[in-house]
Amino acid sequence: MSLEKNKALVRKGNESINRKDLTVLDEFMAPDYVDHTNQLNGREAVKQLYTKMFKDAPDFHRILKT
């Protein structure tokens, strides 16, 4: 995959998260994803984390530097 295609995928993911559209995780993340930092198993757990983050920090916004 080209560098530009990779950048486009990362932008799509960040823009979706910033719109609070977590359906993008179904496309980008394996169902059995493991996040060792936050002790999460599966993309549903990641969605729950983001949902809590959006509630706790309504102004949450991911910044992408390229």
Residue 63 backbone phi and psi in degrees, to 5 = -110, 130
Q: What is the tally of structural domains in the chain?
A: 1
Residue 66 within any structural domain of the chain: no
Residue 15: DSSP 8-state: H
Residue 12 within any structural domain of the chain: yes
pTM of the model: 0.82
Distance CA 60, CA 8 (A): 21
Residue 61 within any structural domain of the chain: no
Residue 50 within any structural domain of the chain: yes
Query: What is the per-residue pLDDT across 8-64, written as a single tens digit (0 to 9) for each?
Result: 999 999 999 999 999 999 999 999 999 999 999 999 999 999 999 999 999 999 998
Residue 52 within any structural domain of the chain: yes
Task: Tell me which residue range forms the domain holding 45.
Answer: 3-56
- Would you place residue 1 in the very low, low, confident or very high pLDDT band (cuts 50, 70, 90)? confident
Residue 65 within any structural domain of the chain: no
In degrees, rounded to 5, the angle at the alpha carbon of residue 38 between the alpha carbons of residues 49 and 18 is: 40
- Would you place residue 65 in the very low, low, confident or very high pLDDT band (cuts 50, 70, 90)? confident
Residue 9 within any structural domain of the chain: yes
Residue 26 within any structural domain of the chain: yes
Distance CA 21, CA 64 (A): 17
